[in-house]
Amino acid sequence: MARRRRPRRSGALTELPPLKLASQIATLQAILYAVLVPLALFTSLVSGRDFSFEQVFGWSAIRGDTTQGYLMAFIWVLAGGLFSGAAIVIIVGRTKLVLDFAATLHVLHLAVVYLYTGTVPANLAWWATMAVSTCTAFLAGSWGCQHRELRPINFGGSSISSSAAASAAAAAPSAAPTAGDEEQGFSRGRGRGRGRDGAGDYEMVPIKTGEDRRQD
């Protein structure tokens, strides 16, 4: 008896071509470091410390017992969370793929840190910072993608003109003249009108009573 296959989980690996997937991941990783390096350089210059790439590609700079360590953790949450979430919205733009890209971004950084330092991060503050950064990127990216997907689509006009046209169409029946019987081909009182089928004219004349007939 053939075993029933489970449906594949919707995600980046099953819904994107490999080349496009790799290019998007590389672009997001480059944006992360392009934002992180200037921020780390700026904080080093402001605090009077020497800049080192260890602050970006290492793990010892993020620690919970110094002010500089807290500052580097904040920089990581800002760059890896908010900026990465905004980049995912712009480059990917799909809500159900945000978690895949946010997690992949930080897992690749873990690999970069291991290759740069030769050791697995042993600082608990580093792992906590990466977890907070991943959650921030996921929340920011999900909110941005949902806002983008739920945005109304206008075809050849603004939403203001569309709503004005809808209001005018809704008010049109109430603004029509109350000539109830004229739509059915009848007219009240004296006057001229048209037949029910729109063909020919007719004129309504007064009905003669018995006294009028005797006078005639």
Tell which wins on pLDDT, 9 or 138: 138
59, part of any domain:
yes
First-last CA distance in the chain: 105
pLDDT tens-digit map of 17-44? 888 899 999 999 999 999 999 999 998 8
Average of per-residue pLDDT across 94-105: 92
Distance CA 170, CA 69 (A): 63
Residue 190, amino acid: R
Residue 48: strand, helix, or coil: coil
pTM greater than the 0.85 cutoff: no
36, part of any domain:
yes
Out of 26-30, 70-74, 81-85, 179-183, least confident range: 179-183
199, part of any domain:
no
pLDDT tens-digit map of 147-198? 887 776 655 554 445 555 555 555 555 444 444 444 444 444 444 555 555 5
58, part of any domain:
yes
Instruction: Please report the pLDDT score of residue 186 as a whole number.
Output: 47
Q: How confident is the model at residue 64 (pLDDT cuts 50, 70, 90)?
A: confident
- Can you read off the two tokens belonging to residue 198? 């729109």
Instruction: Please report the pLDDT score of residue 138 as a whole number.
Output: 95
Q: How confident is the model at residue 100 (pLDDT cuts 50, 70, 90)?
A: very high
83, part of any domain:
yes
For the chain, the domain total comes to: 1
Percent of the chain with pLDDT over 70: 62
Instruction: Please report the pLDDT score of residue 37 as a whole number.
Output: 93
Distance CA 117, CA 113 (A): 6
Instruction: Please report the pLDDT score of residue 35 as a whole number.
Output: 94
pLDDT tens-digit map of 132-143? 999 999 999 999
35, part of any domain:
yes
Looking at the predicted structure, is the pLDDT value of residue 49 above 90? no
- Can you read off the two tokens belonging to residue 110? 């873990």
Tell which wins on pLDDT, 181 or 8: 8
Domain hosting 27: range is 12-149
Instruction: Please report the pLDDT score of residue 212 as a whole number.
Output: 58
119, part of any domain:
yes
Phi and psi of 200, rounded to 5°? 85, 155
Distance CA 68, CA 135 (A): 23
27, part of any domain:
yes
Instruction: Please report the pLDDT score of residue 119 as a whole number.
Output: 92
Cα atoms in the Cβ-side hemisphere of radius 13 Å centred on 182: 11
What is the overall mean pLDDT for the chain? 77
